[in-house]
Structure 1
Amino acid sequence: MAVVLAAALLTGCGGGDAGGQPQSTAPADNGVAALAPNEALQRATTAVKNAKSYHLVGDIVDDGQKMTLDLKVTGSDLGGRVSTDEGTIELLSTGGQQYIRPDETFWTKNTGAKASGEIVKMMGDKWAKVSTKDDLSQLFDIADVDELLKPDGTLTKGEAKEFDGVKTIGLLDGDNSGTLYIATTGEPYPIRLEGGQDADGQVTFSEFGATFDDVKAPAEDQVIDFEQLKSRT
């Protein structure tokens, strides 16, 4: 199971008076805590997909390698960045077309100083259009909910916790591979996924159902074909 922490803004509907008594504004229990672990996971996965959009922020550490991500997902589109010791890559996917915009550190470490200088000059602030067959295309899979929440082992029920006022129930993945915390009030969104022994770190889900105006296709004059850049390496 991948790594996530999320501050979901789960608030109840405003209340008036009912028989002279004020109505509670607290979100109602959604029944997830009483479900079998696999059913609870399915509810959480469905809730995120139904939200259509969400924001992922966090760190993943695997075999000593740290990856920091900040990604906005809206439907099948995505925008944001991923950073590692190899540098930072901005990611953008709209209408089925993927684009990347790596920083100079990435190019230097992966192509050498001479080639990176040519590539940086050639690219400027433009986006590089990437084929889904290219290895770098795999970076876009990081925000895939089905893969992100897919357990590696057998799920078991964990302890209840509260994050930023949101009550959750934990789902433990196998032998300490990670714990997914799902909201037990309001929509059953995944709130926090903490890494275990296999992959340390945590990532947050937030802004469910938000509109991300910055996730949009770049202008044609701001795009270069990635194959042209690879020919310089």
Structure 2
Amino acid sequence: MLSKRLASTAAICLLLAVGTAACGGDKDSAASGPKLDTDKLSAQEIEKQAKDALAGASAVKIAGTMAGEDGKTTIDLSLDTKGQCTGSMGMPGMGSFEIISDGKATYLKPDKEFWKAFGGPKGEQAAELFKGRYLTGFENDPQMKSLTTVCNLAELSKKITEDDGTKSKAEKGSAGTVNGAKTFSLKVTNDDGEQSTIHIATEGRFYPVRIEKASGKDGGQLDFTDYDKPVAIKVPAADNVIDFAKFKQQLQTA
């Protein structure tokens, strides 16, 4: 089911680092486009409309928090199907980091807390030695390679929308408004009895614009905005970047 895939994939993406619209896109074009017939369509058919819309999006911004046993995980990330992205992520007990990708190279700028946690015994030294600098060149590193997947909307959409074999139950909710967009909600209960609410745009393209998970260990909310809006990338200056291999070498000799 879409809600489970969205919520779990977002949480997984954040963990991968150690491990989707002004909602609905442009309001003027949405207002003149098709409307979602929530009276005639079943909950499953409405959900499929949202999955198909997300799979066809060229760009999106995902922002929100997901709660877990260790605390809250945060994400504020704009990404597209070209592998470009810009934004930030944060994890409980691990600090946060800025991330930039131009589709070819990925740049990571951790905060002090992240450096200290990531650097282990030499974390304090790493935080001071590499303060304010970006890491790059870890696309082929087994531990860091997954970061490039986070920035690829095509790959992320595939993980979110593909059938995962679960038998979650979707039920119709009600009409509403999310971030200025007209929406219709679906109530979804997964195999474990955990409930989520998907808010789907009802005009123009039927994008999912908000996911809320009120029960279970992964409670939280994710907003999906700026659909199909070009992602503006500003690659950091070369003198403010350090290669990941050199970083590891300098950390060992620090």
Counterpart code for 1:208: Y
CA contact (8 A) 1:153 1:173 kept: no
Structure 1 runs of 4+ with >6 Å offset: none
Secondary structure (helix, strand or coil) at the match of 2:186 reads: strand
Residue 113 of structure 1, CA deviation? 6.5
Amino acid corresponding to residue 119 of structure 2 in structure 1:
T
Q: Does 1:92 align with 2:100?
A: yes
Which structure has more helix as a fraction of its residues? 2
Residues 91, 101 of structure 1: 8 Å contact kept: yes
- Asked if the contact 1:178/1:194 (under 8 Å) is kept, the reply is yes
Kindly indicate whether residue 133 of structure 2 is the aligned counterpart of residue 125 of structure 1: yes
The letter of the residue matching 1:80 is G
| Residue 94 to residue 26, structure 1, CA distance change in 2 (3 Å) | closer
RMSD of aligned Cα (Å): 3.1
Q: Which of 74, 84, 89 is 1:77 aligned to?
A: 84
- Cα pair distance change 1:184/1:125, threshold 3 Å: same
Q: Specify whether residues 221 and 167 from structure 1 end up closer, same or farther in structure 2 by C-alpha distance, changes over 3 A only.
A: same
Residue segments in structure 1 that go unaligned for 5+ positions in a row? 15-24
* TM-score when normalising by structure 1: 0.77
Alignment partner of 1:160 out of 174, 193, 198: 174
How far apart, CA to CA, are the structure 2 residues paired with 1:222 and 1:81? 18
Higher strand share: 1
**Alpha-carbon offset, residue 222 of structure 1:** 3.5
Partner residue in 2 for 1:17: none
Which residue number corresponds to residue 193 of structure 1?
Answer: 211
CA distance in 1, matches of 2:135, 2:61: 22
- Assess if the C-alpha contact under 8 Å between 1:177 and 1:198 holds in 2: no
Report which of the two structures shows the higher radius of gyration computed on alpha carbons.
1
* Cα distance in 2, alignment partners of residues 184 and 98 from structure 1: 35
1:169 to 169, 185, 201: 185
Matched, 1:102 2:102: no
CA, structure 1 residues 135+153, in 2 after alignment: closer, same or farther (shift >3 Å)? farther
Distance 1:172-1:118 versus aligned 2 partners, 3 A rule: closer
Query: Alpha carbons of 1:153 and 1:223: their partners in 2 closer, same or farther (altered >3 Å)?
Result: farther
Aligned residues: 222
Distance 1:199 1:33 in 2: 31
Structure 2 unaligned spans of 5+: 11-19
